[in-house]
Amino acid sequence: MPTATALCLPAKGAPFTLTAVERRPLRPDDVRIDIAFCGVCHTDVHFGHDDWGRTLFPLVPGHEITGVVSEVGAAVTAFAPGDRVGVGCMVGSCGTCGPCASGEEQYCVEGFVATYSARDHDGSVTQGGYSSSIVVAERFVLAVPDTLPLDSAAPLLCAGVTVYSPLRRLGTGPGTRVGVLGMGGLGHLGVKIAAVMGAEVTLLGRSPEKKDDALAFGAARFVDTRDSGQVAALGGRFDLLLNTVPASLDLDVLLGLLGLGGTLVNVGAPADPVASYNTFSLLSARRGIVGSSIGGVRETQEMLDFCARHGIAAEIERIPAARVADAWQNLPRARYRYVIDIATLGTP
Ligand code: NAP
Ligand code: ZN
C-alpha cells in the first residue's frame, strides 16, 4: 500500500507524531495529490480535543488542502498531472440523494465522508491534509485558479466556502447590511467576501487591535463586543449576522441587532452546541436563525473562481510543521490563518 508522511495525533491528549499513513492505490476515478499547503482550521482543534465526542484516533487533521496532481486514475477526465488543485472538507457522499443530486453534498442524507476522522465507504478511516499526499475521488477535487497562490488559497477550501455559501444564498449585495461576528479564519474572509459582494460590513469582535485590519479588508466599521453600549447602539441594524465565534453567545442580544426579516447565520461551532433564545426575539421582527455547513463542490469551485476574479485570498502566516502544536494553542491570535508548509514535514 502506498504511504504518505503525516502529522498524527495518536490518541486524545497525546502530542503530534510524524508517522506514515496509507493512501490507497488509485481507483479509476482517483486523483493523487502532492500536498503543498494545509490551513489550520479551528475545526481541526475541536477534533483534536474531541470537543464533539466523535473523533476517530489516530487522527491526521487538515481539510484546507492545496497541492499539485501527481497521478490520475484511468477514468479521470477533469485533471492531469501537474494541475494545481484543492481539497476541502469532503471526500465522499452517496452521490444519489436529493442534496447530492443538487450539488449540496455537504447535506447528503447519508452524511458526507469528511476528509478526516470519518469512516469511508470502504470501511477505512479518512486521514487529512497535515500530510505529504492524499488520494481523492475526482468528484471532490477542485481546480485552483492560476492567479491564486497555493498557500493563501488553502484556507478558501473550508473557511472561504463556509462564509461564501450563506452570504450568497441570503442575497448579500449592494444595499444589504452585514455584521460579521469574530475575525479569525472564517471571519476575515467573511468581511472580505461580503464587502466585495457590495454589502456594508460591520465587524463585531472582542479584539480592538484587529480594527485597522477589518477596515482594510473592507469593513465600514469595527464594534467592540465587550462594550454593551456600542453593541446596543446597533439595534435593528443588520439584514444578516454571520456568527463565526466558536463559543456560545447570547442569542437574544444578537437577534436584537437584526432588522425586519433579518437572519442570524450560525457557522461557528461551540464545544457546547446547545443554545436557547426567547421566541419573541424572532417573532417581533420576523427574524430567523439558520445554520450553514461548508458548501457543495460546485459552490466551492464557484467561490474559488469568484475569489480569483476579485483578487481575494486569505491573510496567512506560513508555519513549518514543527510549529503546528503552538499554532493550535495560539489560534485566537492568528493573523488570520496559519498555513502549514508541507515541504517542512520531514521524514518519520
Ligand atoms: P478562529 O480562526 O479561531 O477564529 C474565531 C474568532 O472568533 C477569533 O479570532 C475571535 O475573533 C472570535 N472569538 C470570540 N470569542 C471567542 C472565544 N471565546 N474563543 C475563541 N474565539 C473567539 O476560528 P475559525 O477557524 O474561524 O472557526 C470558527 C468556528 O467555525 C469554529 O467553531 C469552527 O469549528 C467553525 N467552523 C464551522 C464550519 C461550518 O461548516 N459551519 C466550517 C469551518 C469552521 P475576535 O478576536 O475578532 O473576537
Ligand atoms: Zn474547517
Can you point out the beta strands (E) in the chain?
3-8, 17-22, 30-39, 65-72, 84-87, 90-92, 113-114, 133-137, 142-143, 177-181, 200-205, 221-224, 238-243, 258-266, 288-291, 316-319, 337-341
Evaluate whether 93 touches 108 at the Cβ level (below 8 Å).
yes
Superfamily of domain 3-158+314-344: Medium-chain alcohol dehydrogenases, catalytic domain (3.90.180.10)
In this structure, the residue with its CA closest to atom 10 of ligand 1 is 182
Evaluate whether 161 touches 87 at the Cβ level (below 8 Å).
no
pLDDT digits (tens, 9 = 90+) for 240-276: 999 999 999 999 999 999 999 999 999 999 888 888 9
Q: Is 117 in the pocket of ligand 1 (CB under 6 A)?
A: no
Spatial distance between the Cα atoms of 283 and 157, rounded to a whole number of angstroms? 36
Go through 213-245 and write b for each residue having 16 or more CB atoms within 10 A of its CB, e for each that does not: bbeebbbeebbebeeeeebeebeebbbbbbbbb
* Nearest ligand for residue 161 CA: 1
Strands 316-319 and 17-22: unpaired
Domain covering 160-291 assigned CATH 3.40.50.720 in the classification = yes
Q: Which residue has the higher pLDDT, 296 or 274?
A: 296
Residue 324 scores a pLDDT above 90:
yes
Spatial distance between the Cα atoms of 323 and 130, rounded to a whole number of angstroms? 12
Q: Which residue has the higher pLDDT, 37 or 275?
A: 37
3-state DSSP call for residue 138? helix
Residue 2 scores a pLDDT above 90:
no
| Per-residue pLDDT, 231 | 95
pLDDT digits (tens, 9 = 90+) for 39-70: 999 999 999 999 999 999 999 999 999 999 99
* CA neighbor of 64 nearest in space, from 153, 154, 1: 154
In this structure, the residue with its CA closest to atom 22 of ligand 1 is 245
> Which triple of cell numbers denotes residue 266?
450560525
Ramachandran assignment for 53, one of left (phi > 0), alpha (psi -120 to 50 degrees), beta (any other): left
Rg of the Cα trace of the chain? 20
CA 177 to centroid of ligand 2, rounded, Å: 26
- Nearest-atom number in ligand 1 for the CA of 45 is 34
Work out the angle at residue 188's Cα, subtended by the Cα atoms of residues 183 and 189, and round it to the nearest 5 degrees.
145
Strands 113-114 and 30-39: unpaired
* CA neighbor of 22 nearest in space, from 134, 105, 119: 134
CA 220 to centroid of ligand 2, rounded, Å: 27
Q: Is 168 in the pocket of ligand 1 (CB under 6 A)?
A: no
Phi, psi of 183 (to 5 degrees): -120, 80
Under the banding of pLDDT at 50, 70 and 90, the label for residue 289 is very high
CA 101 to centroid of ligand 2, rounded, Å: 24
* Nearest ligand for residue 65 CA: 2
CA–centroid distance for 326 within its chain: 20
| Per-residue pLDDT, 273 | 85
Max distance between CA atoms of the chain, in angstroms, equals: 62
CA 42 to centroid of ligand 2, rounded, Å: 6
Q: Where are the domains of the chain?
A: 3-158+314-344, 160-291
What mean pLDDT comes out for the span 95-116?
A: 98
pTM above 0.95, yes or no: yes
Under the banding of pLDDT at 50, 70 and 90, the label for residue 311 is very high
Under the banding of pLDDT at 50, 70 and 90, the label for residue 332 is confident
In this structure, the residue with its CA closest to atom 12 of ligand 1 is 182
- The pLDDT > 90 percentage for the chain reads 96
Instruction: Name the average pLDDT for the chain.
Output: 97
* CA neighbor of 13 nearest in space, from 73, 59, 77, 66: 59
* CA neighbor of 303 nearest in space, from 173, 158, 191, 183: 158
pLDDT digits (tens, 9 = 90+) for 116-148: 999 999 999 999 999 999 999 999 999 999 999
CA 88 to centroid of ligand 2, rounded, Å: 8
Spatial distance between the Cα atoms of 238 and 47, rounded to a whole number of angstroms? 32
3-state DSSP call for residue 267? coil
Under the banding of pLDDT at 50, 70 and 90, the label for residue 86 is very high
**The two domains 3-158+314-344 and 160-291 share their CATH topology (first three levels equal):** no
